[in-house]
Amino acid sequence: MPNRILTGLSLVFCSILSVQHALAQDYSAPLGPGGKPDLNGVWQVLNRANYDIEPHAARAALATVKGDFGPVPAPAIVALGSIGAVPGGAGVVEGDHIPYKPEALAKKQDNQTNWLTQDPEIKCYLPGIPRANYMPYPFQIAQSASALLFSYEYAGAVRNIYLQDPGEAPIDSWMGQSYGRWEGETLVIEVTGQNDQTWFDRAGNHHSDQLKVTERYTLTGPGTMRYDAKIEDPVTFTEPWNMSMTLYKRIGKDAELQQFKCVEFVEELFYGELRKKN
């Protein structure tokens, strides 16, 4: 039954993408600064990719243990009840499958088993790219003729988009280095220089510090934008792979970021034991 559900969700997802692609071909994006498509605004996804970028059925928890009649939530998650459960998702990975190398797949499975202690989102670490774009928080694009700035509600993350090739990133960082250019009506951003500490989702999907992400942002309607990301990491994957999804533009009073600088909210998680010993 779960496999039938996943297959159905995947078919629905592919059908939606096909319709969106057809509509996008007929859409003429409004021009903004510098005569380029106007991406200014606050954007957010409506999918379940932050739980798991691959197709998945609903399940009791992200971290489970063996029960008498099947997997049950890990003891530390039981009290969360339905809040700790995972809603089903159609997935955003093209082909529905991430081509892991065997040792990297084993690490993903270990990450999943130990989600509660290992997911960098729980610790309010910066999310990295592409995860920052499909977390359950909005982000804002500020675009001028000479510069682009992406601001994220989660953890107050930001990134500047270089519009001239800056060369190799001088040092690895959580959000990496972003170099953007326009290809017709599509903004293309190459992201390199990320460290290996971020995940793609809560399901433990991960990468190495050799990750390269090529993003493509294309307006498809008055309030929608197609987001594509090509993932390359020869250390972790057997071949490059892609993900794609729709971003939705917020309007009215929702068209602003709230503050969620969560570092101060995890101080007890990090330092509580030290406080209790003094």
Q: What is the pLDDT of residue 7?
A: 58
When comparing pLDDT for 158 and 70, which is higher?
158
Are 199 and 111 within 8 A, CB to CB? yes
Are 205 and 109 within 8 A, CB to CB? no
CA atoms of 195 and 174, how far apart (whole Å): 6
* Number of domains present in the structure of the chain: 1
Q: What is the pLDDT of residue 64?
A: 85
Nearest to 62 by CA among 124, 115, 138, 25: 115
Residue 65 belongs to a domain: no
Which helix (H) or strand (E) segment is 214 a member of?
strand 212-221
Residue 229 belongs to a domain: yes
Mean pLDDT for all residues in the chain: 91
Mean pLDDT of 167-189: 96
CA atoms of 133 and 120, how far apart (whole Å): 16
Phi/psi at 241 (nearest 5 deg)?
Answer: -145, 165
Q: What is the pLDDT of residue 26?
A: 77
The yes-or-no verdict on residue 277 having pLDDT over 80 is: no
CA atoms of 36 and 204, how far apart (whole Å): 37
Residue 1 belongs to a domain: no
The yes-or-no verdict on residue 16 having pLDDT over 90 is: no
For the chain, percent of residues with pLDDT exceeding 90: 75
Q: What is the pLDDT of residue 63?
A: 86
Per-residue confidence at 85, pLDDT binned at 50, 70, 90? very high
Q: Token pair 């951003």 is at which residue?
A: 189
DSSP code of residue 78: G
Residue 266 belongs to a domain: yes
Q: What is the pLDDT of residue 221?
A: 96
Residue 82 belongs to a domain: no
Residue 218 belongs to a domain: yes
Mean pLDDT of 203-230: 98
Mean pLDDT of 243-261: 95
Residue 75 belongs to a domain: no
Q: What is the pLDDT of residue 76?
A: 87
The pairing of strands 148-152 and 212-221 is unpaired
Residue 24 belongs to a domain: no
CATH of residue 248: 2.40.128.20
Which residues form the domain of 41? 30-51+93-277
pTM, whole model, 2 decimals? 0.88
What pLDDT, in 10s, does the model give residues 17-69? Answer: 555 555 556 788 889 888 999 999 999 999 999 999 999 999 999 888 888 88
